[in-house]
Amino acid sequence: MDTLNLAWLLVAIPLVSSAVLLLLGRGSDAWGHWLGVLASAASAVLAIVILVQLLGLGADDRTANVHLFDWIPAGDLTVSAGLLVDPLSVTFAILITFVGTLIHIYAVAYMSHDVDRRRFFAYLNLFIAAMLVLVLADSYALLFLGWEGVGLASYLLIGFWNQNTEYAVAAKKAFVMNRVGDMGMLVAMMAMFATFGAVDFDTVFGAADGAGEGAMTLIGLMLVLAACGKSAQFPLQAWLGDAMAGPTPVSALIHAATMVTAGVYLIVRSGPIFEQTPTAQLVAAIVGAVTLLFGAIVGCAKDDIKKVLAASTMSQIGYMMLAAGLGPIGYAFAIFHLITHGFFKAGMFLGAGSVMHGMGDEVNMRGFGNLSRYMKVTWITFMAGWLAIIGIPPFSGFWSKDKIIESAFVGEGWQPWVFGTVALVGAGITAFYMSRLFFMTFHGKARWNDGKNDLPGPERTPHESPALMTVPMIVLAIGAIGLGGLLTIGDSFVTWLEPVTGHVEHHEPVLPIPVIMVTTIVLVLLGAGLAWRQYAASAVPVAPPTGSVLTRAARADLYQDAVNEGVFMRPGQHLTRTLVYTDTAVVDGAVNGLGSGTLGWGERLRRLQNGFVRSYAAVMLIGVIGALVVVLASRV
């Protein structure tokens, strides 16, 4: 297991490179980005080596604990910094490093005009390192380190162009909402320590079934809360849309492929805990279902290409959460969908970035149209991603999503029907809005000013992006096409994950599988067709129409921000203002009042001291007489 012991290098390499880039400063501007790419690629290679090694082993000893050092040896609580190398974490490591490397390469070109490109790559490497810590950690404490680390990286990258105040605010919003989720994580860990006296996976999972359901439910719910924060699930989803303020490669890597899926990872990893608490599982499933629809609806109304993709990310992660909430039968598929989604969504984001690159950073799809003529590669690759996400066989999205829908129908009582239906409808809507995006961007009539037509807006000269950008897109597109099918052959992926997710024999859905599959495809085609009729065949108005109530609501993200502001922000601001006033006026005022009061009394008493010896003598005499009187009176 020698290379497994080198797993720490996975983290160390990008971390060191990031540190170097940050510390050397301007000195490394010239070659900094290449160092970043190199570091990411190196850990990608290492990850693949480890994968190969694991594949070479029997299914049962595919789990390795690599103990590094004692991190927090605090008497009762001892947390060791150790890596857990098993199929699940390695899968993630591959996804992170591989997609990450592609996006690094893409970014080299995409950010070439930015003076701070070096800093950008430093942050990207930092993110890779943190994300790897997250997935490789062998204890919740260490996982939390990565968890917050990716939060930090996302904060830095969303606010990368923080000279624009809105971007800075968006970054802060993302971090703070994540923190709300992290509170859940912390409470979960507190409960774990109170229950098991430890927070490392082995101990916790080992003792999980022995512990009472109450504690388990608390832990489970708190973990779900954490997952919501990180994966932008309802009700903590508000930040993801604003997070699109970051450069597109960031959106692709962090807010589509990897970081936002950490929540799903957390729940799957914590499977043994959720086993003990159906309540938490159900909550997770419901959250997933709600977010699934939520994202889909929002996606239908947005005109900003990146926001649509963000919404779809939300919705797709909703699928994964739903699957993860279904328990062991869903775990594998959740991860499966996560992987495929990582590929095709990243591809589409890069495509969007390439479109923006060609269209002068325009993001409004109503200003696009008929771009397929100008940027062929982008068009093709994007099409691959599109077909994948809407689930057209044999594209990878079909395999993963279909499995989730099937397993959503598994079970008894009301749940399979509700979840299944939601999943189905979601699939339909997804098809609609993704097709809308695709057609509005690449088909229909051109709605931008090419200098000849008399359309408003600055003149655009759409062009294909350089190879550095297109190559990663192509690679990801291939993944989007083939990966799903490849991993489905003989359930290879599911069996591969079994050491972690546990083996589950096949359950029968409440509906026969063919029926589900056909319904799905029909719905998808319906949605796509609808989109085609509306956005490709007929002209798209450049100015957004008023639209129905639902549309307007969806454009406003179903008023989630309004709710947040009304419920948390405004009262919070009032509270702080009041407290600040109270602190100075009341708490401090009392003290100062005491002081000035004393001064006043001093002033008054001072008058008695007129400095005339005779009056002092007089006072003395009176005092003596008084004293004598008292003494004698007491004698009487």
Partner 1 sequence: MPTQFADLPWLTILIVVPTVVAALIWLVKPLRRAARPIGLATSVLVLIGVALMAGAFETADAAEVQFTQTVDWISAIGASYAVGVDGMGLTLVALAALLVPVVLIAGWNEVTLPSGIAADRAEDSLAYRRAGFVSLVLVLESLMIAIFAAQDLFLFYVIFEAMLIPVYFLIGVYGGPNRRGAALKFLLYSLAGGLVMLAGVIAVYFQTDGGPGTYLLANLGDIASDNPTLQMWLFLSFFIAFAVKAPMFPVHTWLPDAAAQATPGTSTLLVGVLDKVGTFGMIAICLPLFPGAAATAAPVIIVLAIISIIYGGLVAIGQNDLMRMIAFSSVSHFGFIVMGVFVGTQTAMVGAMLYMVAHGVTIAALFLISGFLTQRGGSQDMRTYSGMQRVTRVLAGTWLFAGLASLALPGLSGFVPEYLVLIGSFEAHWAYGAFAVIGVVLSALYILLAYQRVFTGPVPEAGAPVELTGEALDVPDRAGLKDLTGREKWAIVPLALVVLFLGLYPAPVLELLSGVADQFAAILGSAS
Partner 2 sequence: MSLVNYLVLSGILFSIGSIAVLTRRNAIIAFMGVELMLNAANLTLVTFGRLHGDLHGQVIAFFVMVVAAAEVVIGLAIIVSIFRTRGSASIDDANLLKS
Partner 3 sequence: MNAALEISTGEAVLFWVLAPLMVAGALSLLFAKRPVHIAVSIAGVMIGLAVMYIMLEAPFLGVAQIVVYTGAVMMLFLFVIMLAGVDSSESLVETIKGQRGIAVVGLLGLLILVITVLTRASLPPAVGLAQANADTNPVGVARLIFGDYIFAFELTAALLITAALGALVLSHRRRLSPKVGQAELAEAKLAAYGKGGSAEGVTPPAGPGVYARHNSADMPALDAAGNPIDDSVVTVLRVRGQEAETADLDADRVARIATGAPMVPELDGAERADRAELDEQAETTKENEE
Print the binding letters for residues 564-603 with partner 2: x by CB under 8 A, - otherwise: ----------------------------------------
Q: Which helix (H) or strand (E) holds 77?
A: strand 77-85
In the set 534, 615, 630, 634, which binds partner 3 (CB under 8 A)? 615
The residue among 580 and 621 lying less far from partner 2, judged by its C-beta, is 621
Q: Answer with the entry of partner 2, partner 1, partner 3, none that 609 interacts with (C-beta below 5 to 8 A by kind).
A: partner 2
Cα angle: 20, vertex 21, 24; to 5 degrees:
75
Q: Answer with the entry of partner 2, partner 1, partner 3, none that 611 interacts with (C-beta below 5 to 8 A by kind).
A: partner 2
Q: Which helix (H) or strand (E) holds 491?
A: none
Does position 614 bind partner 2 by CB under 8 A?
yes
Does position 604 bind partner 2 by CB under 8 A?
no
Using the contact rule CB under 8 A, the part of the chain among 112-120, 267-275, 312-320, 604-612 near partner 2 is: 604-612
How far is 116 from 26, CA to CA, in rounded Å? 9
Q: Answer with the entry of partner 1, partner 2, partner 3, none that 622 interacts with (C-beta below 5 to 8 A by kind).
A: partner 3
Does position 632 bind partner 2 by CB under 8 A?
no
In the set 617, 627, 628, 629, which binds partner 2 (CB under 8 A)? 617
DSSP 544-581: PP---HHHHHHHTGGGHHHHHIIIIIHHHHHHHHHHHH
Using the contact rule CB under 8 A, the part of the chain among 192-200, 394-402, 599-607, 621-629 near partner 3 is: 621-629
Print the binding letters for residues 143-172 with partner 1: x by CB under 8 A, - otherwise: -xx-xxx--x--x---x--xxxx--xx--x
In the set 550, 563, 579, 625, which binds partner 3 (CB under 8 A)? 625
266 within 8 A of 321, measured Cβ to Cβ: no
How far is 602 from 605, CA to CA, in rounded Å? 5
Does position 23 bind partner 3 by CB under 8 A?
no
Which residue from 231, 223, 222, 218 is spatially nearest to 291, judged by alpha carbons? Answer: 231
337 within 8 A of 316, measured Cβ to Cβ: yes
Q: Which of residues 47-86 bind partner 1 (CB under 8 A)?
A: 69-77
In the set 450, 518, 588, 628, which binds partner 1 (CB under 8 A)? 588
Q: Answer with the entry of partner 3, partner 2, partner 1, none that 634 interacts with (C-beta below 5 to 8 A by kind).
A: none
How far is 355 from 363, CA to CA, in rounded Å? 9
152 within 8 A of 210, measured Cβ to Cβ: no
The residue among 163 and 610 lying less far from partner 3, judged by its C-beta, is 610
* Closest distance to partner 1 from the beta carbon of 206 (Å): 19
The residue among 506 and 614 lying less far from partner 2, judged by its C-beta, is 614
Hey, what's the torsion of the CAs at 21, 22, 27, 29, to 10 degrees? 60
* Closest distance to partner 1 from the beta carbon of 75 (Å): 4
* Closest distance to partner 3 from the beta carbon of 628 (Å): 6
388 within 8 A of 467, measured Cβ to Cβ: no
Does position 239 bind partner 1 by CB under 8 A?
no
- SS3 call for 67: strand
Using the contact rule CB under 8 A, the part of the chain among 288-296, 388-396, 496-504, 612-620 near partner 3 is: 612-620
Hey, what's the torsion of the CAs at 471, 474, 475, 480, to 10 degrees? 160
Long-range contacts of 502-509 (CB under 8 A, 24+ apart): 502/271, 502/328, 502/331, 504/328, 504/329, 507/329, 507/407, 507/410, 507/411, 508/410, 509/406, 509/407, 509/409, 509/410, 509/416, 509/420
362 within 8 A of 302, measured Cβ to Cβ: no
216 within 8 A of 270, measured Cβ to Cβ: no
Which residue from 458, 295, 453, 445 is spatially nearest to 371, judged by alpha carbons? Answer: 445
In the set 228, 618, 630, 634, which binds partner 3 (CB under 8 A)? 618
The residue among 74 and 632 lying less far from partner 3, judged by its C-beta, is 632
Does position 577 bind partner 1 by CB under 8 A?
yes
Indicate the length of the chain as a whole number: 636
DSSP state of 490: G
The residue among 215 and 301 lying less far from partner 1, judged by its C-beta, is 215
Using the contact rule CB under 8 A, the part of the chain among 277-285, 307-315, 395-403, 609-617 near partner 3 is: 609-617
- SS3 call for 139: strand
The residue among 495 and 615 lying less far from partner 2, judged by its C-beta, is 615
Does position 607 bind partner 2 by CB under 8 A?
no
Does position 586 bind partner 3 by CB under 8 A?
no
44 within 8 A of 132, measured Cβ to Cβ: no
Q: Can you name the residues that pair with 74 across neighbouring β-strands?
A: 77
* Closest distance to partner 3 from the beta carbon of 622 (Å): 6
* Closest distance to partner 3 from the beta carbon of 620 (Å): 10
Q: Which of residues 409-448 bind partner 1 (CB under 8 A)?
A: none
Which residue from 440, 166, 444, 159 is spatially nearest to 302, judged by alpha carbons? Answer: 440
Give the residue carrying structure tokens 């997952």: 227
The residue among 185 and 338 lying less far from partner 1, judged by its C-beta, is 185
The residues that touch partner 3, with contacts defined as CB under 8 A, are: 610, 612, 614-615, 618-619, 621-622, 625, 628-629, 632, 636
Binding-site ranges for partner 2 (CB under 8 A): 609-614, 616-618, 621
Which residue ranges make up the site for partner 1 (CB under 8 A)?
22, 25, 69-77, 141, 144-145, 147-149, 152, 155, 159, 162-165, 168-169, 172, 175-176, 179-180, 182-183, 186-187, 189-191, 193-194, 575-577, 579-580, 583, 587-588, 591, 595
